[in-house]
Amino acid sequence: MRIDLTGRTALVTGSTQGIGRAIAAALADAGARVAINGRRPDTVASVISEMQAQNPDRDLVAAAGDVTDQGGADAVLAATGDVDILVNNLGIFGATPALEITDDVWRRYFDVNVLAAVRLIRATLPGMTARGWGRVLDIASDSAVVIPAEMIHYGMSKTALLAVSRGFAKEAAGTGVTVNSVLAGPTHTGGVEDFVYELVDPKLPWDEAQREFMRLHRPQSLLQRLIEPEEIANMVVYLASPLASATTGAAVRVDGGYIDSIVP
């Protein structure tokens, strides 16, 4: 399949590292103009320089700002311009015993992982529907369905994100705009490496630590390894393309078979 996103502008939140950076790179390689987002302007500028050094044809724009508050979101949208493809990738995670999760932590996870996405959808969906084309993609997680005992606050936020995606898909019904969520499985990023070493022997070499983590904490995985960020990005690019015009209101899995269900 040849995917051509030339003429489309994409905003990928939290795109200076990890899954977000891989998604931004893949969208740019497909021809989209991509806004790179992070809280610090210097970090955003550095990442853009690195990404353009890898492929000078990438059309990238700096969109620094904290989308977890209204002022930051407004600044990001002003730097981006009209958004055709919105990828709500920003998220936080971490292990905390269930009975030790405070009210403030519950609120923070909801604010960052759910409300930031809602804020940006609310701001960009009207323009997409007026133009008759658009894509909203919320990066969820297998944890939305298989709630992890060590971070139920994170699982809660990703479950809520599935509801947000489905609800806004109904709002966009019949407009040419699709809204979907992507259920990403356990993925290999720098942050996940730190998380893995919180749960297994930190003295283990990475390959052994990864296998031990999957054996002890993610035994349902049929892939039996962590997913690479580029594998998530491949699905996002497809869903962002005209080829996925009949897919909306869906929770699409890129989970390595982790979720033990035959129904998406």
pLDDT digits over 111-154, tens only? 999 999 999 999 999 999 999 999 999 999 999 999 999 999 99
Q: What's residue 228's pLDDT?
A: 95
What is the C-alpha separation between 195 and 82, in angstroms, rounded?
A: 36
For the chain, list the domains and their CATH numbers: 9-187+227-254 (3.40.50.720)
For the cut 80, the answer to whether the pLDDT of residue 263 exceeds it is: no
What is the C-alpha separation between 158 and 149, in angstroms, rounded?
A: 14
Q: CB neighbours of 232 closer than 8 A, spacing ≥ 6?
A: 19, 22, 23, 139, 182, 184, 187, 254
For the cut 90, the answer to whether the pLDDT of residue 218 exceeds it is: no
Please state, rounded to an integer, the average pLDDT across all residues of the chain: 96
Residue 190 or residue 74, greater confidence: 74
Q: What's residue 262's pLDDT?
A: 86
pLDDT digits over 150-200, tens only? 999 999 999 999 999 999 999 999 999 999 999 999 999 887 898 899 999
| Residues 164, 167, 170: CA angle, nearest 5 degrees | 150
* 251-254 β-sheet, strand order: 59-62, 33-36, 9-12, 85-88, 134-141, 177-184, 251-254
Q: Is position 258 annotated as part of the catalytic site? A: no
Exactly one of 109, 154, 197, 238 is catalytic; which is it?
154
Percent of the chain with pLDDT over 90: 92
Contact 78, 25 (CB under 8 A): no
Mean pLDDT of 37-65: 98
Look at 23-32, 45-54, 219-228, 246-255 and tell me which has the smallest mean pLDDT. 219-228
Model pTM? 0.94
Q: What's residue 203's pLDDT?
A: 95
Helices 190-199 and 206-217 cross at an angle (nearest 10°) of: 70
